[in-house]
Amino acid sequence: MMFSPPKPNELRRITTQTVRNYLERHGWIFKDTRGYGLSYYEHPEMLLDNGNPVYYYFPTSDKSSSYPLDVLTFISSQSKLRDLTPEDIYHELTALIPTENTLASSQPVAATP
């Protein structure tokens, strides 16, 4: 079955922080924010033929008009690297998106006298 890409507004819900959380959960290490608005990640256990770690660049901002395409490319890359379907990657990413309830519950509560 072919992956039916979500609409751009649905892909925009997957923020750069959501992608970073996903990558870190799967062993990727944030190394640097490179020029041109990209964050650089390496996976120390996945090695290229030359022995260097597999790396991945992802935008530092989700404000560009092409951001939904960046998310689709990320989903496709991760599905190939992890041998999962794009749907699996998309569902895992969306599960990492904080909801209004979790955001509210993580806010400090003022002590009552």
Q: In this predicted model, what pLDDT tens digit does every residue of 28-81 receive, in sequence order?
A: 999 988 678 999 999 999 999 999 999 999 999 999 999 999 999 999 999 999
Strand 53-59 to 29-34 pairing: unpaired
Mean pLDDT calculated for residue range 4-31 = 95
The Cβ-side half-sphere exposure at 74, using a 13 Å CA radius, reads: 26
